[in-house]
Structure 1
């Protein structure tokens, strides 16, 4: 059985916290399932059981520098950089019709993703350096500014719905308020925050949620946002600069785990609104566990309705797990766990080279409901490796040990995500660089020296097949649909030995599944684009067949897409990383400011500085 099957709801703020003494019984409160054959979820029976089981699991997985998955545990395994979260525009306030405007480039329509900038066609809302700004699109003037009291640090994100903005603050920021429980003892112990901002008149923070751990991702359908946090135990491991014996380090860390109380694993929160500040903590009986787990983290999925006057506790759904990837449609949310963190620094047998998947259904403004779970061999490249269509989940993974990639089709069967079909052996000796599923078709790019683009027929979930293959030099790191039977690939050109040669934009004709073709290529030697690793940096505007591609240190390229790729113009705005269209104007965002340009000529119309 999978080690991460069991999720459950935690206490709302209105429920008194249960004491977490060693033998306090935990009330049975399994997360509701959808009925039918779905397996029941089992909570810990008591705080004593929670403490004993989590200590045992944590001691088995702890390394010389701490628990797996933390920034301190295995620094050599940190990724090259986080993929930025994305966005789609929120609902516009009821008024006269807004001009046509672009929506942020997202994976699934109707499942909004947070980003640095949003628009409803009338106003533009941005967040940067601890400040939220509102710009009126008609007058091209800043009409509101709000210090979020979040300090300065990492990248803020926001979601927009009507006159409400939900701002996501990563734990790299410092909240200026002094909390009742004092400073967090963990390295980098600042806490993630979720802020509800009223945009009516002068922007105002009306509710502030302060959680623990890392901000993984978020999705919004309508006015309801789901925010995923991952917290690690509040355990301070000994730091002895003179101690270089890893065995002794691990022994000392295990002793520290033995001394940790049960509530070290229980996520805490603090909510501040107009009525004051309230604190809460997950109850022992509200935490679920699978058959096996690392004891290194707890994942919580929070639900916030932006039409409500305050955030509340978010009605968390919590599990002992190490979730790292979120994929959602308007009706489903999937959480994926990459097992490599659990076994970091140690040999991993073939059985554990896998990704675990958990499916939840989304209904209105209610917390997610658990439906099913499953495992697939290998690892995902990102959320685009997942796709739900016609009641099935398609999953693309690469097994690093065998250097083989595959696409599997899964269906929900009695609480499990069971495999119904597979296409295996893609790009032997290579790994997946990008994936895009579009209805009954799928496209997978693998790369080592050349770039095979595989075309897949997924109409029959029992018999998915490769229908075509195109080999070209270089690779595509993101595949973007640009009209019927057309794909854009954003990536890098490479020579015959696989050495990269600069930014490559490819236009593919995929009308014939057996014979995908590259119609055109735009190559910028030495160039790189944020869109290679952050699809939200890319703008496709079908009304004028214009593709806006940001280029590091050079502004952005405006490419006209027909049966060819032609450079229509260029936006000269250094460090540009976002763009959007409102009416006949192109708005581009950089750290220095927001520029409005004529979409047809790229002539500058206005400049709104972003620097304080």
Structure 2
């Protein structure tokens, strides 16, 4: 059966080895906004320390490295200005394989690319459903509709009042649970390193010696055996905050973002210049242990600790020294996680995009943050730096190439690898129109990602709200008062071009392919002044790239759906046309995409006031997932069949 498609110089490098104006096609800019951020390594730990100190000293200001960050670890709660306001990695159609040939037909996580599964709140192999909710992992037998196992994910955490945020990946009888620390746990363990501690650049090179009196402060990874009662067989913890993860086969790669563990004093009697001088003195006294992430891992009765070594650290030619990105690799087929075989880059990113054989890290480029109107801003032109890693083989990824494009990304859907090229959609400010967007096509040339062509001038005065690349075609939605849907022909990487445009009120925040050369958009209706009027699902006919048209729409006045911002919440079954959307009112709206339009099946209302967050299909039945339990529903009628409350 077929699953439903939801739809260093040295060692470091070898380790990494008004839209009325028509958009225009453009040739590559002979003067790119900045040098491509190719990675180089450090010849020694002393060189690494000197480089990080110098870069951080140049980037620090009177308030530290970012808005509101004066002291302490900038963990999950301290992101660059604007990053938290953008939707987190959007995630759509990926057809996952069943656990075995006898497993019932079932849906898979709505991931961006096939062969690169993404972590989510719920996973199924057709036989069992694994859910993480309110600090608990639960296993449900789909056939008997019985909860067969529970596991407290908060065990070992003290003083919590909020449940930690969790997600998981699944491989056979193993689940990798990714647990972000609860807010008050982060605050309680926020103990910056002593800036007066003597700096020893050579001490950090031993991976067997834990640094500092405390252990790592950041996300926890739990390897759970699901063969019987759910049991933790391995753990891993590392400094920083969880950015994202991808899984190909049995290999899971987890990306962690960390910032220097420094304490910047604050004295309101000092001027901004004096505070900056004091902060630079703190940086000048700090050792490598302030930057390199510490980690701990367990397997059975074993416990190991260490820290990322300088031989695993690389940097772009220009770095701010304010953030590090670490890629960890784990084999889920084994009974332990190990040390994660870390690879670290002295750079920043807020977007992860993965395919079956590539991993891309992308984020705003520039040398640090500066205060300005509307919050902290980067000096110089906006740009996005992109790093590609080769993940075709299991184990540690190899650094492959890097590049830079002007503007900023919306989310991971603004990136797409196709036939050896990377397409990137960005919005940039600074033009006469205020803002405009573009799609850039990049090709790998040695260790550089070099632009071969682009289409710019999209949505002048507007910004990108959604992007979808499907083979040689790209679709971009921009919005301010109306919703232009642009269609682009990207088959020739040297001459990408705009082919068509459709203007309607409202916007689509997520785009999903539908059989028959059609596209489904999920977003908001808007009035003529651009004010949101409620959830809108639009069906577009895109068979003629020159004339995209809207065939039908479904409007829920005043409504909204988490699927607008997190495509993991979107479910589509191409065999029946079923669409399931969790509503902000708590239920699940069921629709059917037909040959001629969109039919309303009905709304699933959950018992006990449950608010649905996800839905999935197993053997023709819809399961709605909420914090209070699971509902089993007939997807053809929206009639409830069973309710499994969490106990």
Q: TM-score, normalised by structure 2?
A: 0.84
* Gap change, CA 1:244 and 1:124, over 3 Å in 2: farther
Aligned counterpart in structure 2 of residue 144 of structure 1, from 149, 167, 173:
149
* Gap change, CA 1:488 and 1:410, over 3 Å in 2: same
Residue equivalent to 1:603:
639
Segments of structure 2 that go 5 or more residues without pairing to the other structure are: 1-7, 18-35, 68-73, 194-215
Superposed, which structure 2 residues align to 1:181-192 within 5 Å? Answer: 183-186=189-192, 190-192=217-219
* Gap change, CA 1:390 and 1:78, over 3 Å in 2: closer
User: Do residues 567 (structure 1) and 600 (structure 2) align?
Assistant: yes
* Gap change, CA 1:288 and 1:338, over 3 Å in 2: same
**Distance in 1 of aligned mates of 2:156 and 2:538:** 41
Residue equivalent to 2:235:
208
Deviation digits for residues 78-128 of structure 1 (CA, Å, limit 9, x no counterpart)? 63376267586865444x611111111111111100000000000000112
Mean Cα deviation higher: 538-547 or 504-513: 538-547
Q: How many Å apart are 1:467 and its aligned residue?
A: 0.6
2:282 aligned counterpart, secondary structure = helix
**Distance in 1 of aligned mates of 2:125 and 2:64:** 45
Residue equivalent to 2:178:
168
User: Do residues 514 (structure 1) and 497 (structure 2) align?
Assistant: no
Contact kept, 8 Å, 1:135 with 1:144, in 2: the verdict is yes
Deviation digits for residues 422-444 of structure 1 (CA, Å, limit 9, x no counterpart)? 11101111111100000011100
Residue equivalent to 1:375:
404
Superposed, which structure 2 residues align to 1:50-449 within 5 Å? Answer: 50-68=48-66, 70=74, 77=82, 79-80=84-85, 83=88, 92-94=98-100, 97-148=102-153, 149=155, 151=157, 152-172=162-182, 183-186=189-192, 190-240=217-267, 242-243=268-269, 245-339=271-365, 342-346=368-372, 352-402=381-431, 403-449=435-481
**Distance in 1 of aligned mates of 2:11 and 2:292:** 17
Contact kept, 8 Å, 2:580 with 2:615, in 1: the verdict is yes
**Distance in 1 of aligned mates of 2:366 and 2:505:** 30
Residue equivalent to 1:582:
618
Q: How many Å apart are 1:270 and its aligned residue?
A: 0.2
Residue equivalent to 2:24:
none
* Gap change, CA 1:565 and 1:74, over 3 Å in 2: closer
Residue equivalent to 2:555:
523
* Gap change, CA 1:214 and 1:40, over 3 Å in 2: closer
Contact kept, 8 Å, 2:177 with 2:222, in 1: the verdict is yes
Contact kept, 8 Å, 2:630 with 2:643, in 1: the verdict is yes
**Distance in 2 of aligned mates of 1:340 and 1:496:** 38
Q: TM-score, normalised by structure 1?
A: 0.89
Deviation digits for residues 532-560 of structure 1 (CA, Å, limit 9, x no counterpart)? 11011110012221111111014111111
Higher relative contact order (CA 8 A, sep 6+): 2
**Distance in 2 of aligned mates of 1:344 and 1:482:** 44
Segments of structure 1 that go 5 or more residues without pairing to the other structure are: 1-7, 9-25, 177-181
Contact kept, 8 Å, 2:169 with 2:176, in 1: the verdict is yes
Contact kept, 8 Å, 2:437 with 2:457, in 1: the verdict is yes
* Gap change, CA 1:163 and 1:254, over 3 Å in 2: same
Mean Cα deviation higher: 145-154 or 70-79: 70-79
Q: RMSD over aligned Cα, in angstroms? A: 2.6
Q: How many Å apart are 1:345 and its aligned residue?
A: 2.0
**Distance in 2 of aligned mates of 1:208 and 1:85:** 27
User: Do residues 490 (structure 1) and 488 (structure 2) align?
Assistant: no
**Distance in 2 of aligned mates of 1:198 and 1:352:** 49
Contact kept, 8 Å, 1:508 with 1:519, in 2: the verdict is yes
**Distance in 2 of aligned mates of 1:452 and 1:40:** 36
* Gap change, CA 1:364 and 1:349, over 3 Å in 2: closer
Residue equivalent to 2:199:
none
2:227 aligned counterpart, secondary structure = coil
1:345 aligned counterpart, secondary structure = strand
Contact kept, 8 Å, 2:318 with 2:367, in 1: the verdict is no
Deviation digits for residues 159-213 of structure 1 (CA, Å, limit 9, x no counterpart)? 001000000111337889xxxxx944149x8411111111011111100000011
Contact kept, 8 Å, 2:38 with 2:448, in 1: the verdict is no
Contact kept, 8 Å, 2:81 with 2:377, in 1: the verdict is no
2:338 aligned counterpart, secondary structure = coil
1:289 aligned counterpart, secondary structure = strand
**Distance in 2 of aligned mates of 1:45 and 1:256:** 25
Contact kept, 8 Å, 1:65 with 1:73, in 2: the verdict is no
Aligned counterpart in structure 1 of residue 531 of structure 2, from 481, 489, 499:
499
Number of aligned residue pairs: 576
